[in-house]
């Protein structure tokens, strides 16, 4: 029983380390991407899951709904905090983020 328990603990630590490395890699990619868009990435949430083979993978979207974003020049909110703080409709700012993405990916 102790061997199985120790194996499970080790397995959890390995998986936690794997998720941590994935999160750090995603963080670096997002920082670079949003910098190209003149957007400051404040923070974001990630959700991980498993595929049918048990492989750990990013399991949710990355969008203004899952990130806190500010325009670098104006400090204007470009995320759902705008709606949460009752400062307006999120659709125009989401479209602005989309337009910036389209400019660099056309």
pLDDT score for 71: 96
C-beta atoms surrounding 78 within 10 Å? 24
Tokens of 21: 């490395």
> Is pTM beyond 0.85 here?
no
What gap in Å lies between CA 59 and CA 10, rounded to an integer?
23
Is a pLDDT exceeding 60 seen at residue 3? no
**By C-alpha distance, which of 19, 71, 61, 21 is closest to 41?**
71
If you average pLDDT over every residue of the chain, what do you get? Answer: 86
**By C-alpha distance, which of 57, 63, 64, 58 is closest to 46?**
58
pLDDT bracket for residue 12 (50, 70, 90)? confident
- Tell me the domains of the chain and their CATH numbers: 2-104 (3.30.470.20)
């Amino acid at each position: 029983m102790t061997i199985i328990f120790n194996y499970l603990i080790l397995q959890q630590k390995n998986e936690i380390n794997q998720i941590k490395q994935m999160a750090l890699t995603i963080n670096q990619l997002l920082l670079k991407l949003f910098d190209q868009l003149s957007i400051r990435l404040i923070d974001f949430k990630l959700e991980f899951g498993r595929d049918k083979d048990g492989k750990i993978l990013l399991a949710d979207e990355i969008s203004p709904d899952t990130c806190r974003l500010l325009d670098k020049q104006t400090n204007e909110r470009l995320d759902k905090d705008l709606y949460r703080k009752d400062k307006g409709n999120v659709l125009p700012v989401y479209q602005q983020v989309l337009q910036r993405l389209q400019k660099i990916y056309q």
